[in-house]
């Protein structure tokens, strides 16, 4: 909660109506408009009493942070804005404090956000419960079970990129303190038909794509798989890649989650081997072959796939091959073996793939339960979270949709029953008279489906068990006979004449009027899918596998345990599972989350009124509001009610000293609210009509404005008086300080005047004394000069007697020669070192030697440079020539150049001749390799980087694949026209190719290297050596490149590099490519 904003009620700062029970007027249009208004303001949660409506925003919202968790922790349900955290907190506190087992039912259609809602509930509970190493381990295992089940049980559909194709119910077990002990997961009706066939625009289960995208080459080799999706018939190619989904990263997440949950390494390996076997089963194809007796049989076209499957699973190849070609029927003591034609063989193959994957999924759930189950046997509290498929109405509805919609009918039935039960219990608990509420009871629809005698599931089982020819048409005929008069059953072939001319209902279909609307089911496939038949030969072949997991998945294949009894049908199994689930839910306190999908485009900020209206109808939300407000629309405990509205009455404001109920009675009597509009319960006030509540809110708002005015008036008076007292105190302080300052200034002025007078007197005395001293000095100097001249004259007179006239010049030359000799002898001892970079030089002793000193310095430097060069080998000379060339090309032009000065140019960074990994590449290149380095090639379309090996020979530039060593591109040096790069500190550069050349078909190359200066220098020198022409090096932060027929501008901008030193490239449009450099 923000520090500046404190919300104490759902009604504060409310956008629209936060609780639909308070909506006025209540109709479908106002209901939708209220949801839309809140959705447009990023309010995706709305209440219907204690029920949470959740609208999928299709984007991340900042409302699930740890701060939000703390904000809703231990708060009243209606105290803050509607949120899934409020419901989670209410359920957890009821379980912890009141010892009530809880269940959270999450419903809605595919794509409405049920799976994300269940994750949010679990993450909230994990965040608010206890801490500790053991508790954290349990929480982590519970949370990490989700990625595993999603990978194996979720798939991309046209409505949802992460659609749950199974129902999941998790019981989380807690101890008496509210700390998690473990959990139990139940799964319902995995859509295993998706394994062999997916509708257009949809994908198979996530795990198939994750293992092909994220597994290493060695791991795929062990599983005998390849990364190419098109190699596998069970994978649809039109939606193999999903925008925003990283299958490789998800695969790593799944493997890590399996390790955290407790899977051993050999178990994980076995699981992926079974997944690989299922994937490769789809590649087995059959061809017809006639036998001598005239019967048709099938043979496998290519046995390589079969051989690899058998190697993976440890099955004898001949046993599995026979199981695909023959079927053995046992009756008492007799065995009859018949051949399978091509259609039957394909059916057997698909049935095996579906059963193998379905049983693997059930094993995964069982294995996870073993890891996360509670280890103690003390009494436990339980919170159940139900995440199950929502009501489905497709263009083509089959057996799966029928079963799913049956489950939703049962959930709707228990929802109405438990909601009415909860309302009735609260009325009785509070002493309020309970009146019967009229509502639509969908028990008649449930009976139409599940009745043991005349129900659709019972008749479907009867048809599957009946001897003779059984088809989908015979099943439909039976439905037409038994259910013709049922008011919720419609069929073109029934005895009811009102549907005979209904052209919207095909002959091979029947229609059921569910609580959510009418759904037409195509009867094709009902019998086969209900039978869920797997030939015994295939079960026995699987049991014979030398693979512990596969052997455990097919216990019925054991010859010692042959059971001739027909296994239960899929419909009867699901009916029993639903009955168990309903029984479990009825023992717990229910909490509901109704998920709604705002649009079919999976896009943010789009609210489709018609689509939302359809979901509101089949979720029965309006009916839920009417049930909730049939008696009293709003109820609130006395304490918060009095706290919120006490300012409306003088007797209760500002403090009420008596009981809260008495205060509320006084308040309501003072406001003259009619007695029929409210009732007093034992602990709550019940308000019948929302208009009464809104009237209270309006009065409260007006009163708050009046109180704000009063507070503002008192505050202004206090502020003015405080300001006056502060000004008075300040004036006294200022006056005292000013008087002190004035006296200080006066004293300073007198003091400075005295100092000035003293200084003038002292100055006059000093000047007088100075004049006397100067006069005395001048007299002494004059006497000295006269004496010096006189002595000079006397000396010169004596000197002429002994020396010739040119003696002065000789003395000068001798002196000069002696000075020069002394200079050279001193220079000999002061010579600097022989290092060319040593700039030290002795100081010039005499001015007349200035030019000689400079020339001697130059000659010495040239001499020691020659001495230094004479020490170089030919290889070192070549290196320094390249460094000199690099300096001329890039110094003061490229910001990256100073960092390359101290780095030696090595050229062969990969050592291709020594590394056996590049043997294939070495054999393909005949010429001497000048430079070999790994560079990043930038994709021209999307700006993504791919690792390539860059090779420069005397005549060519080559790019090769780093992993395989295959040469991807080969460009003669004569076709390279220019190299462009930025002036920034990056390794990005473009190699321009001659237009019309063979290598320029796709356009110029965009590359990135950590040794850009060396590569460009060597390419420049090699091109100059071979073509006798200088290669143009362009250094600019914006240049043009050629992509096929288009010219694209490459522009360098300031930004962060996400992948280490690789520049981040982003293709803006067909004419601009932006490169982010630091």
- Alpha-carbon torsion angle 742, 743, 745, 747, nearest 10: 170
Task: Say how far apart CA 29 and CA 191 lie, in whole Å.
Answer: 36
**How many CB atoms neighbour CB 1001 within 10 A?**
10
Task: Say how far apart CA 149 and CA 183 lie, in whole Å.
Answer: 14
Task: Say how far apart CA 591 and CA 91 lie, in whole Å.
Answer: 7
**How many CB atoms neighbour CB 883 within 10 A?**
17
- In the residue annotation, 390 being an active-site residue is answered as yes
For residue 200, what are the CA distances in angstroms to 157, 237, 238? Answer: 9, 9, 7
Can you say whether the dihedral through the CA atoms of 609, 615, 621, 622 is positive or negative?
Answer: positive
- Two tokens, residue 11: 């009604």
Determine contact, residues 943/853, Cβ cutoff 8 Å: no
Residue with tokens 């009894």: 565
Cis peptide before 25 (omega within 30 of 0): yes
Determine contact, residues 501/487, Cβ cutoff 8 Å: no
Determine contact, residues 449/413, Cβ cutoff 8 Å: no
* Residue 5 β-bridge partners: none
DSSP single-letter state for residue 1039: E
- In the residue annotation, 1009 being an active-site residue is answered as no
Beta strands 489-491 and 45-48: pairing type? unpaired
Helical residues (DSSP H) of 587-689, grouped into ranges = 609-619, 621-628, 638-645, 660-671
Task: Say how far apart CA 596 and CA 760 lie, in whole Å.
Answer: 100
Q: Which of 16, 18, 108, 111 is catalytic?
A: 111
Determine contact, residues 149/266, Cβ cutoff 8 Å: no
Q: Which of 390, 455, 620, 631 is catalytic?
A: 390
The phi and psi torsions of 10 (rounded to 5 degrees) equal: -60, -25
DSSP string, 103-137: EEEEE--TTSSHHHHHHHHHHHHHHHS--SHHHHH
* Closest CA relative to residue 1077, chosen from 1050, 1055, 1051, 1049: 1055
- In the residue annotation, 94 being an active-site residue is answered as no
- In the residue annotation, 163 being an active-site residue is answered as yes
The H or E element spanning position 90 is: helix 84-98
- In the residue annotation, 504 being an active-site residue is answered as no
Residue with tokens 């509805």: 397
The H or E element spanning position 88 is: helix 84-98
Longest Cα separation, the chain: 167
Q: Which of 392, 490, 882, 1014 is catalytic?
A: 392
Residue with tokens 């009871």: 441
- In the residue annotation, 987 being an active-site residue is answered as no
Q: Which of 88, 115, 624, 982 is catalytic?
A: 115
- Two tokens, residue 516: 């959510």
Region class of 132: left (phi > 0), else alpha (psi between -120 and 50), else beta: left
Cis peptide before 654 (omega within 30 of 0): yes
Q: How many CA atoms lie within 13 A of 288 on its CB side?
A: 8
DSSP single-letter state for residue 202: -
The phi and psi torsions of 1003 (rounded to 5 degrees) equal: 115, -175
Q: Which of 163, 298, 679, 1023 is catalytic?
A: 163
- In the residue annotation, 111 being an active-site residue is answered as yes
- In the residue annotation, 213 being an active-site residue is answered as no
Q: Which of 56, 81, 154, 164 is catalytic?
A: 164
- Collapsing DSSP to helix, strand or coil, 167 comes out as strand
* Closest CA relative to residue 50, chosen from 22, 78, 14: 78
**How many CB atoms neighbour CB 373 within 10 A?**
13
Determine contact, residues 258/268, Cβ cutoff 8 Å: yes
The H or E element spanning position 969 is: strand 967-972
Task: Say how far apart CA 254 and CA 263 lie, in whole Å.
Answer: 11
Give catalytic residues, as residue numbers.
110-111, 115, 160, 163-164, 390, 392
């Amino acid at each position: 909660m923000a520090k500046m904003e404190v919300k104490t009620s759902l009604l504060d700062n409310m956008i629209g109506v936060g609780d639909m029970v308070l909506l006025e007027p209540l109709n479908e249009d106002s209901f939708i408009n209220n949801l839309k208004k809140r959705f447009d303001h990023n309010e995706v949660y709305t209440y219907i009493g204690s029920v949470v409506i959740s609208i999928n925003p299709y984007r991340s919202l900042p409302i699930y942070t740890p701060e939000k968790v703390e904000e809703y922790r231990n708060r009243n349900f209606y105290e803050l804005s509607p949120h899934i955290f409020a419901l989670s907190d209410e359920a957890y506190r009821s379980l912890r404090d009141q010892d009530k087992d809880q269940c959270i039912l999450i419903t809605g259609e595919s794509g409405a956000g049920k799976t994300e809602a269940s994750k949010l509930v679990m993450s909230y509970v994990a965040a608010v419960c206890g801490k500790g190493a053991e508790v954290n381990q349990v929480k982590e295992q519970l949370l990490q079970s989700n990625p595993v089940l999603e990978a194996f049980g979720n798939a991309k559909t046209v409505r949802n990129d992460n659609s749950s194709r199974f129902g999941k119910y998790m019981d989380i077990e807690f101890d008496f303190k509210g700390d998690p002990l473990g959990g139990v997961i139940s799964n319902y009706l995995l859509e295993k038909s998706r394994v062999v066939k997916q509708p257009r625009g949809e994908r198979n289960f996530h795990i198939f794509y994750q293992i092909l995208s994220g597994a290493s080459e060695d791991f795929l080799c062990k599983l005998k798989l390849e990364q190419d999706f098109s190699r596998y018939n069970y994978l649809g190619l039109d939606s193999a890649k999903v925008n925003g989904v990283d299958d490789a990263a998800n695969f790593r997440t799944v493997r890590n989650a399996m390790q955290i949950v407790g899977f051993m390494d050999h178990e994980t390996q076995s699981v992926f081997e079974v997944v690989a076997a299922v994937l490769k089963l789809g590649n087995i194809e059959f061809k017809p072959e006639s036998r001598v007796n005239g019967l048709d049989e099938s043979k496998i076209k290519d046995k390589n796939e079969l051989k690899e499957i058998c190697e993976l699973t440890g099955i004898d190849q001949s046993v599995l091959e026979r199981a695909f070609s023959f079927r053995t029927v046992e009756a008492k003591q007799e065995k009859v073996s018949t051949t399978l034609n091509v259609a039957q063989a394909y059916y057997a193959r698909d049935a095996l793939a579906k059963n193998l994957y379905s049983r693997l999924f059930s094993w995964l759930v069982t294995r996870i339960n073993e890891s996360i189950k509670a280890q103690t046997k003390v009494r436990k509290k339980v919170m159940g979270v139900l995440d199950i498929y929502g009501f489905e109405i497709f263009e083509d509805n089959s057996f799966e949709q029928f079963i799913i919609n049956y489950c939703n009918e049962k959930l709707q039935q228990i929802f109405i029953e438990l909601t009415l039960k909860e309302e009735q219990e609260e009325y009785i608990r509070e002493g309020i008279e309970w009146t019967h509420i009229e509502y639509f009871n969908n028990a008649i629809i449930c009976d139409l489906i599940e009745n043991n005698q005349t129900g659709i599931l019972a008749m479907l089982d009867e048809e599957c068990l009946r001897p003779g020819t059984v088809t989908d048409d015979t099943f439909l005929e039976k439905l037409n006979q038994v259910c013709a008069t049922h008011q919720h059953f419609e069929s073109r072939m029934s005895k009811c004449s009102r549907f005979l001319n209904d052209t919207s209902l095909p002959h091979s279909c029947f229609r059921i009027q569910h609580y959510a609307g009418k759904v037409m089911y195509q009867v094709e496939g009902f019998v086969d899918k209900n039978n869920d038949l797997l030939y015994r030969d295939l079960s026995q072949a699987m049991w014979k596998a030398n693979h512990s997991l596969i052997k455990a998945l097919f216990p019925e294949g054991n010859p010692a345990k042959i059971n001739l009894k027909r296994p239960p049908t899929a419909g009867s199994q699901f009916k029993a599972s639903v009955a168990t689930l309903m029984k479990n839910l009825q023992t717990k306190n229910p909490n509901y989350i109704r998920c709604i999908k705002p649009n079919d485009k999976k896009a943010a900020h789009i609210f489709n009124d018609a689509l939302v209206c359809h979901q509101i109808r089949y979720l029965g939300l309006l009916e839920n509001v009417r049930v909730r407000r049939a008696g009293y629309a709003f109820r609130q405990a006395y304490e918060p009610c009095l706290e919120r509205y006490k300012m409306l009455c003088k007797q209760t404001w500002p403090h009420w000293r008596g009981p809260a109920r008495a205060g509320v009675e006084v308040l309501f009597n003072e406001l003259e609210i009619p007695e029929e509009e409210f009732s007093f319960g034992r602990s709550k006030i019940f308000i019948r009509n929302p208009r009464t509540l809104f009237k209270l809110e309006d009065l409260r708002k007006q009163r708050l404005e009046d109180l704000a005015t009063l507070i503002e008036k008192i505050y202004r008076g206090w502020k003015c008086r405080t300001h006056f007292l502060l000004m008075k105190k300040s004036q006294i302080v200022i006056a005292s300080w000013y008087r002190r300052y004035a006296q200080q200034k006066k004293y300073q002025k007198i003091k400075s005047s005295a100092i000035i007078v003293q200084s003038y007197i002292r100055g006059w005395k000093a000047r007088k004394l100075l004049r006397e001293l100067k006069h005395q000095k001048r007299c002494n100097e004059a006497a000295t000069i006269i004496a010096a001249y006189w002595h000079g004259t006397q000396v010169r007179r004596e000197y002429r007697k002994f020396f010739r006239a040119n003696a002065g010049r000789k003395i000068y030359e001798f002196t000069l020669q002696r000075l020069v000799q002394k200079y050279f002898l001193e220079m000999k001892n002061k010579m600097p070192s022989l290092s060319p970079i040593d700039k030290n030089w002795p100081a010039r002793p005499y001015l007349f030697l200035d030019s000689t000193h400079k020339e001697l310095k130059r000659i010495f430097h040239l001499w020691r440079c020659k001495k230094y060069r004479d020490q170089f080998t030919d290889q070192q000379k070549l290196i320094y020539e390249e460094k000199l060339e690099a300096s001329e090309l890039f110094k003061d032009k490229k910001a990256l150049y100073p960092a390359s000065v101290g780095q030696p140019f090595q050229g062969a960074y990969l050592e291709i001749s020594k590394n056996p990994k590049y043997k294939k590449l070495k054999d393909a290149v005949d010429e001497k390799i000048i430079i070999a380095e790994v560079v990043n090639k930038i994709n021209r379309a999307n700006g993504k980087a791919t690792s390539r090996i860059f090779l420069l020979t005397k005549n060519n530039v080559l790019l090769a694949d780093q992993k395989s060593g295959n040469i991807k591109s080969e460009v003669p040096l004569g076709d390279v026209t220019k190299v462009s790069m930025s002036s920034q500190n990056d390794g990005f550069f473009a190699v321009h190719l001659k237009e019309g050349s063979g290598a320029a078909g796709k356009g110029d190359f965009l590359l990135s290297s950590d040794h850009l200066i060396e590569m460009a220098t060597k390419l420049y020198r090699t091109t100059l050596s071979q073509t006798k022409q200088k290669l143009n090096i362009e250094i600019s932060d914006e240049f043009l490149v050629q992509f096929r027929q288009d010219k694209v501008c490459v522009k360098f901008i300031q930004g962060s590099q996400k992948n280490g030193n690789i520049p981040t490239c982003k293709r803006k449009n067909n004419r601009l490519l932006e490169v982010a450099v630091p």
